[in-house]
């Protein structure tokens, strides 16, 4: 299984994921954690993986409204040495 962690304080505000809480959770669990709530720019995804120790990240609004293009995000994350499925 996996844990889907959504910070309601961060959801929809596009200021980044709750990386401190994600990292704390990752340090306590041995199952994968999916970050949810807070993505507003591509750096937020990087931060969720690097600082938040998330195994995956999801977003909605930034993709629906075309603010971030998924192929461009994947290329950016690859350049940051973060493994993604292309």
Instruction: Please say whether the beta carbons of 8 and 37 come within 8 A.
Output: yes
pLDDT, one tens digit for every residue, the chain (86 residues)? 999 999 998 888 899 999 999 999 999 999 999 999 999 999 999 999 999 999 999 999 999 999 999 999 999 999 999 999 87
Q: What is the CB-side half-sphere exposure of residue 28 using CA atoms within 13 A?
A: 7
Total Cβ atoms within 10 A of residue 50: 15
For the chain, which residues make up each domain, given as ranges? 3-79
Instruction: Please say whether the beta carbons of 49 and 22 come within 8 A.
Output: no
Please report the pLDDT score of residue 61 as a whole number: 93
Please report the pLDDT score of residue 82 as a whole number: 97
Q: What is the CB-side half-sphere exposure of residue 56 using CA atoms within 13 A?
A: 12
Does the domain spanning 3-79 belong to CATH 3.40.50.12600? yes
């Amino acid at each position: 299984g996996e844990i889907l962690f959504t910070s309601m304080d961060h959801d929809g505000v596009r200021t980044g994921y709750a990386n401190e809480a994600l990292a704390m959770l990752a340090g306590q669990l041995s199952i994968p954690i999916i970050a949810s709530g807070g993505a507003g720019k591509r750096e937020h995804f990087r931060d969720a993986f690097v600082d938040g120790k998330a195994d995956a990240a999801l977003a909605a609004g930034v993709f629906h409204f075309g603010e971030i293009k998924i192929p461009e995000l994947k290329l950016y994350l690859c350049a940051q040495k973060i493994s993604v499925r292309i």
